[in-house]
Structure 1
Amino acid sequence: MSKVVVVGSYVTDLTARTPKMPRPGETVLGGPFQMGPGGKGGNQAVGAARLGSEVTILTKLGKDLFGDDALNNFNQEGINTSYIIQTKDEATGAALIAVDPQGENMIVVSLGACGTITAEEVEKLRDSMTDADVVLLQLETSMEAIDATIRLAHELGKPVVLNPAPYQDISEELLAMVDYITPNETEAEELTGVRVTDEKTAGEAADKLHQMGVETVIITLGKKGVYLSNKEYDELVAGVTVDVVDTTGAGDSFNGAFCHFLSEGESVKNACGKANIAAALSVTKFGTAPAMPTKAEFEKLYHEVNR
C-alpha cells in the first residue's frame, strides 16, 4: 500500500450558501449552513486516504469540541492520528466560507492551534517519514513547521510535494528542496511575478520556478486542468467537465489524489490526469473533506472518461 505523510492544517469549516457575495458592511441572507472537517492538510489527507493510501497526518488541534470532532473524523477515514497534537493553549482552527450559486467561494481562515506546530513536533515524525513514499505539505501552518518538514524530508530523500497555499513568502533555499510544487494561477503569480492567464504564461511562471530550483511544476488551472512542466513535459494536462456545485475543495482533492497516484508508482503525467478526475468529482458535492471522492467514485468516472 502506498504511504503518504501529510503535515499541515486542520480547521473546522463553517460554510454557508449565499445568493451573492456581500459587499463591505452588507448583510446577506443565505443558507443552507454546513459545519464539517476542513483545512488544507486535513482535506488532502482525506483525499489520499479515500483513494487507498495509508496516510499519516501531523497537525495540531485545540482541546475543544472541534478538536475532538477532528480526531473522530480522521479515525473514521482510517488515517493514522498518532502524531496529532492537542493543546490547551489554542483553539482548533476554523474557516468561514461563503459559496455563491455558481460554486465560487470566499474564505477566511483562522488557523488557531495548527498555526503553532513547532520544528520539534515535526522531528517526531522522523520514523514515520522514513517509511513514506511521498511527503505532502501546504503553507497553511507555521513557517517553522514548513521549514522543518521540507528539511527533514529532503534529508531522508523523500519526494516533497508542496502546495503553496495560501501564499506565504518562502525562501529559494527551501524551494530548491521541493520536488513538486502545485500552485494555482494566483499562487504562481505571487511566487514568480508572472500573471498566469493561459498556457503561455503558465509556462513562463513554470520557468521562473525551475530557476528557483523546483524540478517539477504543476500549475492548477481550474476546469482547464493543470500545466505540467519538468525536463520531460511542458504541456497542459486537460481537466474533466462536470456540473459544478462547490469549488472549495478542488485543489485539495487534486493534491491528495496526485500524491496517492504518485506514491503508487504512476508517472507524473498520469498522476496529474487521474488527480484532475478526482478534483472534478470533488466539485460536484458541497463541502471540502466530505466532498473528497472515494476509490469507487473515482474508478467509475475514470472508466467513463477513458472508454
Structure 2
Amino acid sequence: MSSTTSEQTRNGVLIVGSINADLTTFSSRLPAPGETLLGDDFTLVLGGKGANQAVAAGLAGGNAHMVGCVGTDAFSTVLTDGLRDSGVGVTHLRSVPGPSGIAHIRVDAAGENNIVVVPLANDALTEEQIDAAIADLAPHCRVLLTQLEIPWALTQHAIRRAHDAGLTVVLDPAPALALDENIWPLVDIVTPNETEAAILTGIPVTDAASAVEAGRWFTSRGASSALITLAAAGAVMVTAESVEHFDALRVNALDTTAAGDAFAGYLGASLADGYERTDAIRRAIAAGALTVTRRGASPSIPNSDDVAAMLESSPA
C-alpha cells in the first residue's frame, strides 16, 4: 500500500472539473411531466462531479487539490468551505463574477435520481488556469482526475498537460459524450459505468462479458486500461493483456447520487498514495457502496475509516 520514501513527496491528486451547489429534493417518486408533487425533504450542499471527486480524494486521506471556478453569489461560501472542510486544497480555485454552478437533483424513495446541471461559473475555467495549476502542483502530484462536466476542450487540455507532466491520467467520462479518439493514448484509466461505456463505444453493456468487449474498445484505441463499473454486478478492469473482475459489496441503496464520484475520488487518491491497483479498486468500490447508503452528494461520501471498516468486514 505505502509509497517508497522517495515517492512520498509526490502523492497528490489534482482534480480538474466542475463545482456546483446541489439543490436536492426527496420524494416518494419522481413527478411525471407537468405534475407537481409534494416532497419529503430538501438539501443544499456542495456538489459537481469535480468537487465531489475532490471531496472523496480528500476524505480518502489524499493530498487533493481542486482546479475550478465558483461564482460570487450566496452559494460560493458553501462550495469553498465544503472543499476546505474535506481537506481539499483550493489555491487554484478561482472566484468569478456571477452565479456559481447549480445542479437540481430529484431523488425518489428507491434512491434513483435525475439531475439538471447549469454550469454558470464552471464555464469560466480557462486553459491558462489549468496550466498554472499543473505547473505549480505537478511536482507534488501523481494523479490527474478529471470528468466531462466542464467543456470537453478544457478536459482534453488538462489531460494533455498532465500527461506531458508525467501524471497518471484518470478520466471519468461522465456525463458521456462523443470524444476525440486522439485522446485515448493519453489516458491511463478510463472509468465509465455501463451506460457511459455504451454511449462512448456503441456496444450495449449489460453484463461482464459485454463490459469486457467495451473495455477492449478503449484499449484498442490506446487507453492503458478501462475500468467499467456495473453497479450491483461489480466492475471489470480491462487492459491489452488482462481482464480482472471485481465483486460488488452488497448494501441497501438510499440515494445513488455521487456514488460514481466517490469511486473515482477514492481510486485517484489510492493510486496517488501508492496502493496497488487491485487494492485501489477494491477501496473505490467500498467507497461507492457506502455512498449509496446515505443521502446527498458530497455529504454522503464516506471517510477513510468507514471504508476501511467495510473492507475488513467484507470477504476478500
TM tier, shorter chain? over 0.9
Tell me what 2:18 maps to.
9
2:101 is aligned, of 89, 93, 102, to 93
Tell me what 1:138 maps to.
147
Tell me what 1:117 maps to.
125
Residues 1:103 and 2:108 are matched in the alignment: no
Deviation at 1:222, TM superposition (A): 1.0
Q: Indicate if the aligned counterparts of 1:160 and 1:178 stay in contact, CA closer than 8 A.
A: yes
Deviation at 1:232, TM superposition (A): 4.7
User: Residue 205 of structure 1: SS of its match in structure 2?
Assistant: helix
1:211 is aligned, of 213, 220, 223, to 220
- Equivalent residues in 2 for 1:60-79 (5 A)? 60-79=69-88
What count of residue pairs does the alignment treat as equivalent?
A: 306
* Rounded Cα–Cα distance in structure 2 between residues aligned with 1:255 and 1:124: 24
User: Residue 232 of structure 2: SS of its match in structure 1?
Assistant: helix
Q: Indicate if the aligned counterparts of 1:228 and 1:269 stay in contact, CA closer than 8 A.
A: no
User: Residue 133 of structure 1: SS of its match in structure 2?
Assistant: strand
Q: Deviations over 1:151-175 (max 9, x none)?
A: 1111111110000001132211112
Q: Deviations over 1:67-92 (max 9, x none)?
A: 1221111121221100001111x410
User: Residue 275 of structure 1: SS of its match in structure 2?
Assistant: helix
Residues 1:157 and 2:166 are matched in the alignment: yes
Q: Deviations over 1:60-116 (max 9, x none)?
A: 11111111221111121221100001111x410111111111111111111111133
- Equivalent residues in 2 for 1:157-176 (5 A)? 157-176=166-185
Unmatched 5+ residue regions in structure 1? none
Residues 1:229 and 2:241 are matched in the alignment: no
Q: Deviations over 1:227-278 (max 9, x none)?
A: 1111453132111001111111110010001111111222222211111011
TM-score by length of 1: 0.96
* Rounded Cα–Cα distance in structure 1 between residues aligned with 2:159 and 2:80: 25
User: Residue 244 of structure 2: SS of its match in structure 1?
Assistant: strand
Q: Indicate if the aligned counterparts of 1:116 and 1:142 stay in contact, CA closer than 8 A.
A: no
Unmatched 5+ residue regions in structure 2? 1-7
Q: Deviations over 1:34-81 (max 9, x none)?
A: 110100000000101111001111011111111122111112122110
* Rounded Cα–Cα distance in structure 1 between residues aligned with 2:204 and 2:124: 32
1:238 is aligned, of 241, 247, 250, to 247
* Rounded Cα–Cα distance in structure 2 between residues aligned with 1:73 and 1:106: 23
Deviation at 1:25, TM superposition (A): 1.2
* Rounded Cα–Cα distance in structure 1 between residues aligned with 2:158 and 2:268: 16
Comparing 269-278 with 195-204, greater Cα deviation is found at 269-278
- Equivalent residues in 2 for 1:22-37 (5 A)? 22-37=31-46
Tell me what 2:202 maps to.
193
Q: Indicate if the aligned counterparts of 1:37 and 1:289 stay in contact, CA closer than 8 A.
A: yes
1:109 partner amino acid: V
Tell me what 2:264 maps to.
255
Deviation at 1:130, TM superposition (A): 3.0
Q: Indicate if the aligned counterparts of 2:25 and 2:107 stay in contact, CA closer than 8 A.
A: yes
Q: Deviations over 1:169-199 (max 9, x none)?
A: 2211112211100011111011100010001
User: Residue 222 of structure 2: SS of its match in structure 1?
Assistant: coil
* Rounded Cα–Cα distance in structure 2 between residues aligned with 1:124 and 1:65: 27
* Rounded Cα–Cα distance in structure 2 between residues aligned with 1:265 and 1:75: 24
1:29 partner amino acid: L
Give percent identity, aligned residues only. Answer: 35
* Rounded Cα–Cα distance in structure 2 between residues aligned with 1:37 and 1:128: 24
* Rounded Cα–Cα distance in structure 2 between residues aligned with 1:119 and 1:264: 27
Q: Indicate if the aligned counterparts of 2:216 and 2:239 stay in contact, CA closer than 8 A.
A: no
Comparing 18-27 with 227-236, greater Cα deviation is found at 227-236
